[in-house]
Amino acid sequence: MQTIYKGRLNNGDDFHVRPLTIKDISKIFRLQSDVYKKITNKAQLAQLTKDEFEYILTGKGLMLGVFVENELIAIRALLVPKIDDPEHLGLDVGLSKEQLAEVIYQEISFVHLDYQGNRLQQTLAKLIMEQLEKENHKYRYVCCTVAPFNLPSLIDKFKQGMYVKALTLKYADQLRYVFLKDLQAPLPIESVKEKRDVPMELIEQQQQLLANGWVGMSLKRNDNSYVVTYVKF
């Protein structure tokens, strides 16, 4: 596949980015396994099965990979969800059944631990949305989930202009923030009426705000804890 981007890592190594195909599935699965084994909090990464990767790679999404020479060191994926999925994220963020066909997920993304700190997630986030735009897509809403305290992924989503619409159990029993971005109607930041910072560990307080129409807009460190800034329009 054609290289769509070239760059240089902090250690001086060159890297390139290209779309991944079904031929790359063994490398993808191996990288996921390596990352999962090395992370301390296993709940931060909901691993995909080979069938799920194959679903994306056979026309139900888009996946980009970062390579140093022939070694795959990072991936990012978009996934077209099944409309009849009872766990559809569009339902979590308040979309109607008619709107679900306009939803695409920012699916799994991960970086080999040896190459973290190079802003590869941010690079891939920008590139994968550019690739989607080139395909003249039909999608209006981008959704995804992130585990609380998965700080790199939370920062990544907020930097993309995504915002928290729900905090609920997903994947059987895993607590997740559910993010949304409306590609056609960005939030009117100038119209914010109220703002409140909530420590991330106060789950019920965040859930109450979300139930009352607040949205999570950003993340910051406050003394020895992390807080999510919620706003109401």
229 and 155 housed in the same domain = no
Tally of domains within the chain = 2
Parent domain of 69: 5-186
Helices 50-57 and 25-38, packing angle to 10 deg: 130
CA 143 distance to own-chain centroid: 8
219 and 122 housed in the same domain = no
Q: Report the relative pairing of strands 141-146 and 174-182 from DSSP bridges.
A: antiparallel
State pLDDT tens for residues 136-154. Answer: 789 999 999 999 998 988 9
115 and 197 housed in the same domain = no
pLDDT for residue 41 is more than 80: no
69 and 171 housed in the same domain = yes
What is the pLDDT confidence band of residue 43, given thresholds at 50, 70 and 90? low
72 and 147 housed in the same domain = yes
Task: In whole angstroms, give the CA distance from residue 233 to residue 214.
Answer: 8
156 and 231 housed in the same domain = no
State pLDDT tens for residues 87-125. Answer: 999 999 999 999 999 999 999 899 999 999 999 999 999
pLDDT at 55: 94
160 and 221 housed in the same domain = no
Of 189 and 81, the one with more pLDDT: 81
165 and 193 housed in the same domain = no
116 and 215 housed in the same domain = no
State pLDDT tens for residues 174-210. Answer: 899 999 999 999 888 888 999 999 999 999 999 999 9
pLDDT for residue 23 is more than 70: yes
53 and 127 housed in the same domain = yes
Q: Report the relative pairing of strands 103-111 and 141-146 from DSSP bridges.
A: parallel
Q: What SS3 state is found at 8?
A: strand
CB 183 within 8 A of CB 140: yes
196 and 229 housed in the same domain = yes
131 Cβ contact list (under 8 Å, min separation 6): 4, 19, 62, 64
176, with CB counted inside 10 A (0-12, 13-18, 19+), is buried
The CATH number linked to 34 is: 3.40.630.30
CB 90 within 8 A of CB 100: yes
Residue 8 has phi, psi (to 5 degrees) of -135, 135
175 and 123 housed in the same domain = yes
Specify the residue for token string 């290289």: 3
